[in-house]
Homo-oligomer: A and B are copies of this chain.
Amino acid sequence: MTTAAPATGSRDLPHPERGEIRLEAVLHALSDPMRLQVVRELAADGDELSCSDIVLPVTKSTTTHHFRVLRESGVIRQVYRGTAKMNGLRRDDLGDLFPGLLDSVLAAAAGQARRLGSG
């Protein structure tokens, strides 16, 4: 029996299943200022953003690395749509596993940015 490949099938990127997501990996993913900025932008947008929508003050390869850490920890889902790699927060999975955690991190990041005058 064969199944029809989904449109994005041939270039699917590896993601942890919900049950494979670990708190330590999520906290590590969120512990970097660039990755935290990505997560804040995705949360503010509320939908998917392409990698090129999110401009970080680092090289392209470093940016790719940060998105990969976020994906492999289970914080974001990355899917190819045409030539664009689109990114979205895994809010449902994180909210189910770790209720309130993502929102408290986002609020903490916003509060710190206000205090430090950095956005």
Contact = CB atoms under 8 A, between A and B. Distances in A.
A100 interface: yes
Nearest to A33: B24
Interface in A51-67: none
A23 B104 CA distance: 11
Contact of A105 (B19, B32, B97, B101): B101
A33 to B, nearest CB: 5
Q: Is the interface of A mostly helix, strand, loop or mixed?
A: helix
Interface residues of A, number: 25
A97 B108 contact: yes
Given A28-B28, A31-B24, A32-B24, A100 B107 contact: yes
